[in-house]
Structure 1
């Protein structure tokens, strides 16, 4: 299903996006050396419930997972990159942590992910990888204009990631979003321009460039959810929900200090 939002639903999408961004920013500040992933999950739950919103993850049970996800946020550390299921792990200095959060408010969902380094260490490889995903995300957003095609976004993202030297996995990528978290169209992180669905005002997309340092192959943890790099290398992931407007793309998941 491809959903086009009317102005009333778009207003609710903006509220959901702001909530997701503010929760992620709070968790970024709290995600310090000594923090447990299960505490991050509990904090996310408390903030979602306090806002009167609903987690898109707790009951999420797609065909590629093992039963309901059962947690409120994805927490992926170092070689984990997608669908990281929170567990009893204490963050250490230099860990690369990705937080991925999707929340529904007023019946409309928003989805965003951030990667950052815990503590004072700044491993060069991790810094470069995070930067590449953020630049790729910015390029994808810049390509998301009314009348453009999904392939234009994929090509913009893929060009940045390829030029940075990263292999690209096409199994998981961006997606449509609206009354449900995952919708068509699929937005691969590489592709050919001029191909695919033509973008229309009212369309919501979650764009999410992610990379692994030296492989495009994923392996699944015993938990049935957490996806890791097949080689054990580090990973990074950046994501925003955007709305296609008459003038271009509006980012709905900017933290408060970055909002216009």
Structure 2
């Protein structure tokens, strides 16, 4: 994504953190609703209710015509799935992407889960190692001088796990819009990447597949599926870089639990 990087003040980051915690609560409600027999529309409604009750606005609903509050992608659907009448079954791998706006500032986060009981170890590896790659990337951001260090940390985890990155889909800057400069790659690329500095707010979101990096977009012009039908996972957090450290905006604890295994402690925005 081209364009000037929008740097934020501490006060602006604090508003983004308010939006982020609402997103976290919406995703928790969606996770609880994602049980065998539920439709993806019902899961979407659970997240929508949390956002509405908080007095926030969905940043997905109406975005380029998108018709729902969340993106819900099942099994071979990797990202941008449209909630509807699909009934979830035990063993399905489900990715839920959600965002909210508070006072004009955006939060964006995603989770993956296995409905009911996992069908096999590969699905568990897919979900858990994609999540680990997210936290590895966030941990790298804490001391990175450039964003390619984040990308490398993500790739190190997914490559070791035998997972494939979804090519052509990336993380992004976030702030007064949901998608801003800079792009945040999930794998190493050539060239000089943007510098990490105070005021930077980004959404890191690894998207991985068990079998292929190639994908197709369905006739709905939204849903991205793996080219070979293999399953995928998607995790995301929005993170702020400030003068004293980093803070995960879409986690009430600032990312403390997720960062602890990497020896990184987030610093509150004050």
Q: 1:41 to 1:82 in 2, by over 3 A?
A: same
Q: 1:77 to 1:198 in 2, by over 3 A?
A: same
Is the 2:29–2:46 Cα contact (8 Å) retained in structure 1?
no
The within-5 A match list for 1:35-184 is: 35-61=38-64, 68-145=65-142, 148-184=145-181
Is the 1:2–1:185 Cα contact (8 Å) retained in structure 2?
yes
Counterpart of 2:10 in structure 1 is 7
Shift of 1:123: 2.1
Is the 1:152–1:194 Cα contact (8 Å) retained in structure 2?
no
Counterpart of 2:25 in structure 1 is 22
Shift of 1:143: 1.1
Shift of 1:258: 7.0
Question: Structure 1, unaligned stretches of length 5 or more?
Answer: 62-67
Deviation per residue, 1:158-214 (Å, 9 max, x gap) = 111112112223311110000100001001101259931111112111000111111
Instruction: Please give the secondary structure, in 1, of the residue aligned with 2:94.
Output: strand
Counterpart of 2:268 in structure 1 is none
Q: 1:16 to 1:134 in 2, by over 3 A?
A: same
Is the 1:79–1:233 Cα contact (8 Å) retained in structure 2?
yes
**C-alpha root-mean-square deviation of aligned residues, in Å?**
1.9
Is the 1:155–1:193 Cα contact (8 Å) retained in structure 2?
no
Deviates more, 1:170-179 or 1:118-127: 118-127
Instruction: Please give the secondary structure, in 2, of the residue aligned with 1:23.
Output: helix
CA distance in 1, matches of 2:149, 2:253: 29
CA distance in 2, matches of 1:136, 1:95: 21
Q: 1:232 to 1:255 in 2, by over 3 A?
A: farther
CA distance in 2, matches of 1:148, 1:135: 21
Is the 1:240–1:252 Cα contact (8 Å) retained in structure 2?
yes
CA distance in 2, matches of 1:116, 1:178: 27
CA distance in 2, matches of 1:248, 1:192: 26
Q: 1:146 to 1:162 in 2, by over 3 A?
A: closer
Deviation per residue, 1:82-103 (Å, 9 max, x gap) = 1111121111111111100011
Shift of 1:247: 3.5
Is the 1:145–1:247 Cα contact (8 Å) retained in structure 2?
no
CA distance in 1, matches of 2:58, 2:256: 23
TM-score, normalized by length of structure 2?
0.89
CA distance in 2, matches of 1:215, 1:163: 15
Instruction: Please give the secondary structure, in 2, of the residue aligned with 1:29.
Output: helix
Shift of 1:121: 3.2
Deviates more, 1:114-123 or 1:83-92: 114-123
TM-score, normalized by length of structure 1?
0.92
Q: 1:16 to 1:87 in 2, by over 3 A?
A: same
Shift of 1:249: 2.2
Aligned residues: 254
Counterpart of 1:199 in structure 2 is 196
Deviation per residue, 1:126-172 (Å, 9 max, x gap) = 10011111111111111113661111111111111112112223311
Question: Structure 2, unaligned stretches of length 5 or more?
Answer: 258-270
